[in-house]
Structure 1
Amino acid sequence: MDLDNRSVQILQTIASTVKVSSKEIMEKYDLTRNQLDYTLKKVNDYLQENNYRKIIRSRNGSFVVDTKVVDSFSGIGNNESQLKADEYSFLDEDYRLLVILLLIFSENYLSLYHFSENLEVSKNTIVSDIKKLKGKLKKHKLTIDYSRKGGYYFRGDEETIRGLILVVIDQVMESIYNHLIFEKYLAIQPEEIEVQRELLRLIETELQVQYTDNRIQTAPYFLVLLNRRVKNNNCIEKRFGLLAKEIMDTNEYGAIVKVLAGQKMLPKSYTEHLYLCLYILSLKITDLSNIFSLNKEALRVHIEMFITMLEKNTIIQLNDKEQLVENLTLHLIPAYYRIRYGLTSDYTLTDIIKNQLDPLFFIVKSSIAPLEVFFEERIPNDEIYLITMFIGAYMQKEKPINLDNTIVKAAVVCPNGIISSKLLENTLDNWFPMIHFVSSYSIRDFYEKEDMLDAQLIFSTNPLTTDLPVIVVGNDLSAMNKTLIVNEVIQLIYKIDSYKLQPDHVLSIIKKYLPMNTEIEGKIRKELMISYNSIFQIQDQEILTNETKLNLSDLITKDSIIILENNLSWSEVLQIATQNLIDREIVDHRYLKHLEEQFPEVTPNILLGNQIVIPHTIPENGARELGMCLAKVTQGFISQGQTYHYVVVISATDKKMHIQPMMQLLKIASDPEVIQRLDSAKDKESLLAIIQEFKRM
């Protein structure tokens, strides 16, 4: 027996879809319960006749399908499916519409007569079909137009058109008409498909990846139709900008170009060959409908959520947040594609730099969840380190550049892409306030613009052939390399040998004649460093290099711990804990007043891990020194229906010194086992012992 179209479609849907229900089948095909029962009976009769097990409907309305039925009748990319339409089959309306879309996509000239003859329906039917298609295309901001010279054609963004066709090809591949549509109506020869399939196999070998069977089945058809579209001069106009630089720096891009060039299949157009490479890279992604488009507004919203969480975890109120959001958006757009495509780049950081970044890195990673929601992927640590460097450089840059105080202009040359260039520029800019950095360039851009460059000094990660003085900085901006770079800068700008003026050199002379203990030596070295940096206008990079050795245990000492046994309110706990800071002259009385005004109740922005309340305010509201007070409320206190046991009132005088202590406090708040140990601690000594375990973590 043979199955009618409806029965074929329902068999394919049940075999291809996991946990599809009777209700979903009835809604999709507009069937009554009786019609579905009748169709299932016909399907099961057909299966039994061909030695397959019947489809069983369970009590909850889902279907139990034998694996052999799935293997044989699943429409998704299944070349061996036993359900195939022969060349005399007639397309129903839904698939006729898909054919019209694919024909417009791939053919050079199409008239009403062409459609009518090929699809064997009247011209009126085609007119009606195209009208329906126009309605469906509105949501994609596309339409179908007609001209005597060009016939029927798409009007709209070429990138969007191609995204739509990717979806259409997937839909065709799921039907019994797939071979009929591709071979009869679109005249795609099996030999053409095999050429593209072989290309993908070569790329798999080169990249050492394995695409899914679904992708291997559908991608060759899109590549064939794409070639036709390009030959018909329907080319993409988009300039990929920053994304192009980021993608071109990856190993995967180079491997794909190598294979395409070797097969003489690399498009001549730069944008087309970049698009083709991006498409091939995207084959690892499940949803291809919008692989080349990014909702920047949604990204900005998630960046704002990330910054809000970061401010809470660092107890820092960042300045000029609008500019920070814009800059982070530019930074994260290429990162989005790297993360989605699983690309490997050359933005590798040494262990030295990672160790220096660790305190801020931990806080950034603890705040990264909103961005991971947007990316729909876990963000790799290397990408978080890059974000950390970006945030750290921004946190340092608290004041605008004063061009009156700059001595020379400089440029940064870095071949590793826009992100590395900007990070290097930001770091150097923060080290050297007497230098105005005009821009950053790739090596090729530098040589093209060298004659017009308004700069007297070049910082480069690679040696350059130029008449301008070049300081080669490499990729390792550790404290040791910073000293060498600073020496070179001072020699070039001030024309003196700064080695003999360096604090360590001066200190070595002093120690020859004056014995001193380690504490005194450290204090003298610090004073010499301040003087040296002041003379030559050198900035310390504390936020990135963590040169300051403060730990949580340096701020929470026996004197700054309070254990409260009584039944107290939130306002009483806040007063008692802040009074501890007032008594120790870390804050003045204004600090308590501002805390009481800002936090009449406990709010989410002063909660760490939903366990520790961290009230704080800006330094201008009465902060004198960096300090903390830990109050443990044994019986707990209630605020807005929630019970809390720990309050740490924090006084911060800048955006740098407290980063590591906050990282350690965040680790404590995020660890339920540590909180349980704090709960069990009966005295200050026990609490302090737990806190000291997090020293230098």
Structure 2
Amino acid sequence: MGMEERCRKILEYLISNPSTTSASIEKKFKLTKRQLGYTMGKINEWLKTNNLPMIERTRQGHFVIDKAIFTEVAASEELSFVSESQILTEEHRIYVILLMLLSSMEELSLYHFTFELDVSKNTVLSDLKKAQKLLDEYNLSINYSRKHGYVLKGNEFKIRKLLLDVTYQMLEMMNGEDRIKKIAMISDEKMTEFTNRILEVENKLNLRFTDEKLKTMSFVLFLILKRIEKGHQIDDVSLVYKELSHTKEYQATEALLRDYKNITVSERLFITLHLLTADVVTADFSSEALTSEFLPAIDRMLRQFEKSACIYFEDREELIERLLQHLKPAYYRIRYHLTDTMNFQGKMSRQFQALHHLVKRSISPLKEFIGSEIPENEIIPITMHVGAWMSRQKESIEKKIKAVVVCPQGVSVSKVMFNELRDLFPEFVFLDYLSVREFIHYSLDYDVVFSPIFIETNKKLFVTKVLLGKEDKSRLRKQVMLEIHGYLPHEIDFSKLVDVISNHAIIQNKDSLVRDLKAYFNRDENMAIVKEQGGEWNLNEFITPDRIQIKNAVHSWEDAVKICAAPLVESGNITEGYIDSMIQYSVQDSYIMIGPGVAIPHASPEEGVKEVGMSLLVVKEGVDYLQNNRIYLIIVIAAEDKKKHIHALMQLIKMVSCEEDRNKLLQSESTNEVFKIVSKYSHR
């Protein structure tokens, strides 16, 4: 169906069925979302030319059609649209040129391009320059010689990556299939043969590829075999033999490649990779070795998301299975840098933006499992899966109070404040901890701001201390609840509750029981508090006796920092340069003070941190720091990843917030006495 005919038929169908949806039209006319969008663009161009209002689409996929369109179109005897051959855009011409370079069996000259594109030589030369800019992203080039004409030069694996992307882009064009068949000289019989072979592979693998991938794979397989026939072989270095050859997809390539000779192991591995990276509708991955390792990472990601979003997923196992079906192909795409170049089309809604932000914040378990950063266009489908699941159980981020923490006191202190407030308000969604400069340009929607300083905002602002004692927390929670909801929640004294329980049962860990009771009673139907798994070190695992020093006096603040940091230099956790950076940073910023007479000098990890660590110095007589500050307790922090030390830092802050234990630290005569106090706070 040509462009002109498609536009006419869809417009006529809309006039006859104005209540139809985008999904219905895509299904009826066998279009992708992009193809429908392109067609609607051409219809609106025609309407604009004829001085008619354009057709709009709602977020739900319905159409808004002006009455004038019904009148004019009904009166028109013939709808005359621009034909496909006349609307090939510059972008489309570039992809046609690249496909010709990828698939031609003969030398290509300017004449071949001008004939195929029906444009002038100057236009082709301009298009070739723009095509080269696109190829720069792949580290490939277009070379010309009189003997060989125009050819692609570069690593064959990267050329194959280009081949995948160009095929996808061409199929998204109007009449894309016909164009590929014509340029690459693919017969309908050959396409049917390859499609049947892929269907045979589906049965062998007990899965179903998406319709889009089934179509793409048939063309890609033909184009790959054509390049092999021309002598373009992929090298062995690009693929990991052991990782790919042990898969059932590798065995299934026999059905795809039967009757084809001279197929090397490397080529078979590449085709295996193409099968592994293809999106599926249904699949059974339960028996695969990768699955047993992947499932815990997906589970950890969901638990982190639940904690951030204050929700609890129903039918969890089913959701994990759905995510696995997307993530297994994504795993191989990311590992081998074969992620689609397509970016998300359209503007994200506010709710999707917030949801996507929380998914990205929770993605670290998957990133650690895969071993590399996860591209944005691989995270978006995860957000869509999670969002769909939340809709299914009638959850919504939009309905929850969303909060941000704005703190000028550096990453570590900000993160502690963020975690403390999140525990205090488990029913809120805490989006981020931000510096003041970051807050000024923050784009996500939020309802509440917590900050230790006054900042300008049109949202509800609660100015609070960085370190909150028990009474401070109770006072702040009451203030916030009264301001937001107009009522004071019934408060439970959990310590007294545990005392009552202890009269009737033996309690092994009183503090742990208090925490669990708080988590239980503070939950609601739309919220789950899930403890983060792994990666948490206690304070006494960082501040060990060999990293504790006691001095009666020191000459200066600079000397105090150097003395305190010395054990970390000796153990190789930091460099001497990190000490200089800490001193320079502390002179500029007094926010390293976290309590009366207590300071935590630190600097950016890039300044010389080799491994996360902490060390402690007690100065009994104290040391002057900046103006009117006397410091008695110094804890040097070397944060390698801004995360591993956070749990211990929270324990540290609780320790120095207790006046009694803070005084005991200053009165200690041995490192073991200090370590005993540190250990007291290392299991809370």
Q: Please indicate the TM-score interval, normalised by the length of the shorter structure.
A: 0.3 to 0.5
TM-score normalised by L of structure 1? 0.39
TM-score normalised by L of structure 2? 0.39
